[in-house]
Every structure is written in structure tokens, then in C-alpha cells.
Structure 1
Amino acid sequence: MEREATYRGTVYPWQCDHVGHMNIMWYVGKFDEANRNLFARLGLTPSYLRSSGRGMVAVQQNIAYKRELLAGDIVEIHSHLLEVGDKSIRFRHDMRNAETGEIAATCEITGVHMDRQLRKSAPFTDAIREAASRHLAEPAGA
């Protein structure tokens, strides 16, 4: 999954807070856009989610802020699928300053596949589970 970015964009001046760096609400927004691209690679496309009555919900999200991002910085996010279960996935996003290569923030999320009508978790289809398995990140030290 490391080959292609799941998000690429810029920091706009209106996304910066009173100390001059990108406000935390925009980190979350950019990570959310990366989620959508990651999900699509696994077969969890908008059309699949609409036609199947399914959805993805975050049940845990942990963000670590490493370096500030300033207005005009180019942002790139690469995503790594860490774990695939019957109804859930765990993944990490690495947000970098594309110019310097420095990691600005990381975000680890556990997402659950749900039936939108029943409001309950639902198993992934075999095709999605197989696609996700192909994208699992290499274990540390492998």
C-alpha cells in the first residue's frame, strides 16, 4: 500500500490557527480523505457502500502530532493496513510534509464495517477481505 499516496493536498492559510500552524481539525479532515481512498482500494467504494447498505465507522482513532505544518506546505499521506478481521480493519496513516519528507503526524484507526439499516457491525464480503489481505503491511522487522 506504500506505493501510492492516499491523500495529497496543501495547507491553506485559513486552515491555520492563532499560532500559525495547521489546526488539528484539518489534520482530522485530511486523514478522513485518506480513509476514503484507502477504502476504495479495498473494494469499499462509494458505490459498494451505497448499493449494499453498508458503511464504515471509526471506533478508535489515535493521532500523534510530530511536526507542525504551515500555510503553503504540501501534504502527502501514505496508508498502511495493519490488521483485517471479519468485521473490522486497523490501519495507520503517515502524514508527511512532501517537500521535506518529515512526518508531521500519524493516525491509527480501527474501523468497523456496519449494516446502516440495522446499525450493527456486519462481516466483510469475501472479495473485500481478500483484497484487504493483499494490502496488509509487512510486520515490523520482516
Structure 2
Amino acid sequence: MEQQATYRGTVYPWQCDHVGHMNIMWYVGKFDEANWNLFARLGLTPGYLRASGRGMAAVQQNITYKRELLAGDIVEVTSHLLELREKSIRFRHDMINAETGELAAFCEITGVHMDRKLRKSAPFEDAIRRIGLAHLAEPAEA
């Protein structure tokens, strides 16, 4: 997948904990925002999800913290699609300190495509599978 940002933002003082660095709840939130930008690139847009009655659900999420982020830091997340199966995807987000270029954290997530009414997993449509398969990538070394 093209290495374009799926999230850009700033660490605000209220996002920092008693140690002075960004609290883990905000890493999760910023990675979540990146999810939706990645999904849209794959055709899983809000319009598609509403019209089709489909949704995405995370079933596993692992975060590795490499460098702390402080109030005022500018962050950028890039995302890499690692695996596409019939009903699930696995992807990785890299959170970078945009000023220093250092990897601050990375997150690997497995998500399931689901039928919202039946509350069960559902296969991806062929068009989404084609887009996804064309964008499989290996992440940079951590």
C-alpha cells in the first residue's frame, strides 16, 4: 500500500499522564482514527458500510511502545495491509514522531468484516478483495 499517512495529529497536554508522556488511551484513539482512513482506501467507506449493513470489528490488537510522545509532538501514522482473508484482515500502523522521524509505537490489528444485523462475520465483496489484494505490503522493520 502506498505509504501515505492514515492519521496526522498533535499530542495535547490533556492527553499526557502523570509521567508527562501521552497516555496509552490516546495511542489507541489515534490508531483507531487511522483504521477508518485505511478502511476507506480499501473501499470500506462509511457510505459502503451504512448501505450494505456491514461493519468492521477488531478481534485482536497488539501495541508496542518504542519512544515516548510529549505534549506538542506532531504524530503521523502510516498503515500497511499485511493479510487479507475471506472475512478478516490484518494490518499494522506505525506511529512516527513527525519532527524526529522516530518510530514511537506500532500496532498490529486483526479485524473482521461483519454483517451488523446478523452479528456474524461476512465475506468481503469481490471489489474490496481486489483492492485489498493489490495493496498487500510488508511493514518496515521495527
TM bucket, shorter chain: over 0.9
1:109 and 2:109 aligned: yes
Task: Look up the match of 2:78.
Answer: 78
**2:50 is equivalent to residue 50 of structure 1:** yes
Cross-structure match for 2:10: 10
Q: Kindly indicate whether residue 105 of structure 2 is the aligned counterpart of residue 99 of structure 1.
A: no
Cα pair distance change 1:18/1:138, threshold 3 Å? closer
**Residue-pair matches, total:** 141
5+ residue gaps, structure 2? none
Which string of whole-angstrom CA distances, capped at 9 and with x for unpartnered residues, describes residues 8-51 of structure 1? 00000000000000000000000000000000000000000001
Matching of residues 56-75 of structure 1 within 5 Å: 56-75=56-75
Q: Deviations over 1:69-105 (max 9, x none)?
A: 0000000000000000000000000000000000000
The CA RMSD measured in Å over matched residues stands at 1.4
TM-score with structure 2 setting the length:
0.96
Where in structure 1 do 4 or more consecutive aligned residues deviate above 3 Å? none
Deviation of 1:134 after TM superposition, in Å, equals 1.1
Letter of the aligned partner of 1:111 in structure 2?
G
Partners in 1 of 2:9 and 2:93 — Cα distance?
15
Q: 1:138 to 1:17 in 2, by over 3 A?
A: closer
TM-score in terms of structure 1 length: 0.96
